[in-house]
């Protein structure tokens, strides 16, 4: 009887894992990534947070999955910054950066203090539609707590967002 319960628990875990894989696959597709060659849902998907380089081939559980070129948006309508607020001294490394997502391929990012002082100006070479700011100014020092205005421009579009940094 105990073996049957263990087998049932194992089946339930497998079903939950497959459901999670389905959900993750949907998120990838919604994020604009195209996955070719996936014929079955796999119990383990290594996706490194959805970050793929151009034409990356990733072997997942013995099957090969081809990821096409990452599609960049044609405008900045989907531009977001997260996490907001950002915490440069947080114990979780995910909070020690500000992620700029929904970026076009060729953009210029300028970050200003709320009083208008330029903190950082970059034109990153992007391989995916996002960029990570390490919360440091152009001198390499961690920025102070406060509200920052982030301007992104490219392709005739310009978008502004506020970002709060809390130490």
Predicted confidence (pLDDT) at residue 98 exceeds the cutoff of 70: yes
Which of 67, 89, 106 is the last residue before a domain boundary? 67
Question: Tokens representing 52?
Answer: 């793929």
pLDDT of residue 70: 76
Question: Rounded distance, CA 124 to CA 12, Å?
Answer: 45
**Does 87 share its domain with 63?**
no
Question: Rounded distance, CA 68 to CA 55, Å?
Answer: 5
Domain hosting 85: range is 80-165
Question: Rounded distance, CA 112 to CA 95, Å?
Answer: 20
pTM of the full structure: 0.59
**Does 23 share its domain with 46?**
yes
Question: Rounded distance, CA 47 to CA 68, Å?
Answer: 14
Q: Which band of pLDDT confidence, cut at 50, 70 and 90, is reported for residue 12? A: low
**Does 90 share its domain with 146?**
yes
**Does 47 share its domain with 19?**
yes
pLDDT of residue 42: 34
pLDDT of residue 161: 97
């Amino acid at each position: 009887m105990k073996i049957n319960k263990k087998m049932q628990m194992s089946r339930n875990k497998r079903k939950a894992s497959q459901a999670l894989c389905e959900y993750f696959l949907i998120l990838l597709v919604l994020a604009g990534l195209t996955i070719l060659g996936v014929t079955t849902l796999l119990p383990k998907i290594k996706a490194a947070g959805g970050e793929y380089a151009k034409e990356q081939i990733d072997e997942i559980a013995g099957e090969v999955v081809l990821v096409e070129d990452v599609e960049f948006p044609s405008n900045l309508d989907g531009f977001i910054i997260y996490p907001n607020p950002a915490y440069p001294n947080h114990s979780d490394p995910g909070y020690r950066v500000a992620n700029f997502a929904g970026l076009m391929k060729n953009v210029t990012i300028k970050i200003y203090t709320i009083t208008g002082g330029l903190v950082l100006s970059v034109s990153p070479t992007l391989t995916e539609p996002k960029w990570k700011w390490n919360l440091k100014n152009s001198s390499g020092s961690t920025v102070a707590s406060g509200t920052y205005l982030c301007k992104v421009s490219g392709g005739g579009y310009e978008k502004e967002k506020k970002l709060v940094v809390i130490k």
